[in-house]
Amino acid sequence: MSSGTKVANQDQHARSASKPQRPAPPGPLKPTRARRRPALIALGLALVALSVLASVYLTSTLGQTYQVLAVKGEITRGTVIAATDLATVELPTGPTQLKPVPADQLDQMVGKTAAADLNAGQLLTPTSVVDELQPAAGQSIVGIALAPNQMPASYELRAGDAVRVVETPASGGEPPVEVPFAIAATVIGSKQSELGDQMVVDVEVASANAAGLAARAATGRVAIVIDAVGAG
């Protein structure tokens, strides 16, 4: 072999060695098994069960009705309810915010008093009637705002409590020499005032005393004395 041939072979071998080697192609991927998620399976089963229950409920209640009481004609506040004032109507069963009086309670509604003006066709509810309208004839209701030091602290006033509303001296003033002015009253209700820590108490008094009590209550110089619990 000549020297020229040797040089050519050496150059070809060098070029072959300098070329980058191609990586072998990847082998086939192994199949992976899908993981089952118990939470998703349980959720799916729960949704299926819920759908079945909803279908059963709709099927069983669709088309069913129940009877309630409604007002036949206009009834003014304070009117004593008679059987002829009421009618029976049917309502579809199902969830509702209405609380009408069932038709089988007609006898219990007769003799009660309309608590407000009732319109023809209006459904009768438990709040539509009362045993006795307040205030009664010859009586008036007065609201009194009281601070914590103007009423007993160990007892919460309740409807029916017999009390006296007593006029008090000015803050820091001398106590009265004579028996202070006082008005007998019956508690109708009470609620916390939205302003400060005062309690607003509604009391029923004789109509002849209502104006005087309201004027004194407006000064803030009154206090509540409990005479009997639930005796009003």
For the chain, list the domains and their CATH numbers.
Answer: 65-130 (3.90.1210.10), 139-228 (no CATH)
Contact 145, 217 (CB under 8 A): yes
The answer, yes or no, to whether residue 203 has pLDDT greater than 90, is yes
Of residues 132 and 217, the one with the higher pLDDT is 217
| Mean pLDDT value across the chain | 80
Residue 56 to residue 42: CA distance in whole angstroms: 21
Lowest mean pLDDT of 15-19, 96-100, 113-117, name the range.
Answer: 15-19
Residue 180 to residue 172: CA distance in whole angstroms: 16
Of residues 177 and 190, the one with the higher pLDDT is 190
Residues 6+ apart with CB under 8 A from 152: 224, 226
With tokens 């993981």, the residue in question is: 35
pLDDT bucket at 159, cuts 50 / 70 / 90: confident
> Quick one: three-class SS letters along 21-59?
CCCCCCCCCCCCCCCCCHHHHHHHHHHHHHHHHHHHHHH
The structure's pTM equals: 0.49
Contact 204, 144 (CB under 8 A): no
Contact 163, 187 (CB under 8 A): yes
